[in-house]
């Protein structure tokens, strides 16, 4: 589980790097649109259970390598972010 520090500073390029191209290609257009909106933000709050977390989980459900990758980079990011 990611460490919560209250930051909304997760860089979306880390999500882009976590996406498996074949899984992206298999998405319906509405899911791709939602993902594009998230990626266009630049920085997001990706805390477990938050809105963006839940939206990404809906796009890439359990069992998808992309979802595993997103969880991993989120945990690494928030574990490296010092508390206030």
pLDDT, one tens digit per residue, over 43-62 is 999 988 899 999 999 999 99
Looking at residue 78, the DSSP 8-state letter turns out to be H
| Residue 3: predicted pLDDT | 45
Count of CB atoms within 10 A of residue 5's CB?
13
Asked whether residue 8 is domain-assigned, the answer is no
| Residue 6: predicted pLDDT | 46
Across 33-39, average pLDDT: 97
State the DSSP H helix or E strand holding residue 84, giving kind and residue range, or none if neither: none
**Count of structural domains within the chain:** 1
| Pairing state between β 10-11 and 43-44 | antiparallel
Per the model's pLDDT, the better-predicted residue between 72 and 77 turns out to be 72
Asked whether residue 5 is domain-assigned, the answer is no
Where does residue 36 rank: exposed (0-12), middle (13-18), buried (19+ CB within 10 A)? exposed
Does residue 83 register a pLDDT over 70?
no
Contact 42, 48 (CB under 8 A): no
pLDDT, tens digit, for every residue of 12-35?
999 999 999 999 999 999 999 999
Asked whether residue 30 is domain-assigned, the answer is yes
Per the structure, the complete domain to which residue 58 belongs is given by 25-80
């Amino acid at each position: 589980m990611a460490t919560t520090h209250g930051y909304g500073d997760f860089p979306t390029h880390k999500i882009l790097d976590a996406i498996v191209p074949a899984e992206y290609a298999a998405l319906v257009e509405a899911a791709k649109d939602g993902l594009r909106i998230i990626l266009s933000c630049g920085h997001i709050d990706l805390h477990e259970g938050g809105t963006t977390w839940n939206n990404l989980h809906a796009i890439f459900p359990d069992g998808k390598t992309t979802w595993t990758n997103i969880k991993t980079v989120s945990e690494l990011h928030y574990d490296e972010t010092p508390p206030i």
